[in-house]
């Protein structure tokens, strides 16, 4: 299998690259892409082990960032704005720390450059325990997943990874690789030097992914950063209040 990232591109203008979070795919940020494509050339990517991108049992943020750098070279993007949500935000931050010369403005949605305690163990276990041979539709899969994941919205998001081919369901994402690389995914960003470029952190008002305890490390790694809070949203702020999110992004890019 080719080791190139799968991507979709739309619009024209200055380049912006969108990077989704864990268990997601480029579809998760389609509503953000729609809000940007009139003014920007938007490249929406599938991270390795996700969507239609290649599978590899290694997911350090340096490697995930390098995947994006290689894609930029392949499709002739010299510099770009970068927007990442959750795990995608950590990839975006690593890109800026390792390859600052390739980054214009950086936008990080509801994640900090810190190590997080494991909190997807139940989700991974639930997905791995779905008996794919026994399901004929998503409802069957949902019934098997519900003992592990209470929130129906989260289950619906996770089950977008299911694809049917010749009457048989499989996962687009590589669950085994994600499970084995999970400590890497929870790790903090590491940078030899700070990213001096303009950076915006957008936090969900009801989310605890960015806290006041993270302020010092954010400031140390991203000294030219500012923050916006979208009240009444959780970790999925871009999906919960897409219009508000897109307005903040466009206004920031136009500064």
Residue positions annotated with a catalytic role:
86, 235
Could you give the angle at the alpha carbon of 64 between the alpha carbons of 58 and 68, nearest 5°? 145
Evaluated on CA atoms 159, 238, 212, 93, the torsion sign reads positive
Q: Is the separation of the CB atoms in 20 and 14 below 8 Å?
A: no
Query: For residues 131 and 148, what is the distance between their CA atoms, to the nearest angstrom?
Result: 14
Q: Which residues of 39-75 are buried (b: 16+ CB within 10 A; e: fewer)?
A: ebbbbbbbbbbbbebbeeeebebeebbebbeebbeee
Query: For residues 128 and 136, what is the distance between their CA atoms, to the nearest angstrom?
Result: 17
3-state secondary structure of 188: coil
Query: For residues 171 and 203, what is the distance between their CA atoms, to the nearest angstrom?
Result: 30
Query: For residues 60 and 174, what is the distance between their CA atoms, to the nearest angstrom?
Result: 15
């Amino acid at each position: 299998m080719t080791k190139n990232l799968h991507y979709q591109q739309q619009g024209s203008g200055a380049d912006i690259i969108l990077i989704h979070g864990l268990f997601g795919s480029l579809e998760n940020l389609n509503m953000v892409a729609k809000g940007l494509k009139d003014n920007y050339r938007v490249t929406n990517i599938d991270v390795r082990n996700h969507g239609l991108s290649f599978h590899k049992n290694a997911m350090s943020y340096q490697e995930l960032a390098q995947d994006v750098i290689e894609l930029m070279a392949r499709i002739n993007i010299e510099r770009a704005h970068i927007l990442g949500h959750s795990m995608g935000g950590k990839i975006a931050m690593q890109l800026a720390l390792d390859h600052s010369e390739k980054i214009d403005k950086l936008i990080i949605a509801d994640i900090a450059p810190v190590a997080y305690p494991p909190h997807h163990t139940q989700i991974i276990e639930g997905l791995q325990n779905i008996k794919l041979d026994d399901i004929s539709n998503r409802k069957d899969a949902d019934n098997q997943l519900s003992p592990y994941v209470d929130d129906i919205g989260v289950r619906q998001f996770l089950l977008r990874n299911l694809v049917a081919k010749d009457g048989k369901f499989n996962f687009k994402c590589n669950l085994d690789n994600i499970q084995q690389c999970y400590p890497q995914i929870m790790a903090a960003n590491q940078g030899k030097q700070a990213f001096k470029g303009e950076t915006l952190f957008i936090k969900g008002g009801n989310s605890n992914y960015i806290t006041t305890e993270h302020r010092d490390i954010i400031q140390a790694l991203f000294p030219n950063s500012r923050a916006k809070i979208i009240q009444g949203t959780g970790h999925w702020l871009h999906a919960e209040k897409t219009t508000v999110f897109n307005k903040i992004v466009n206004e920031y890019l136009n500064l």
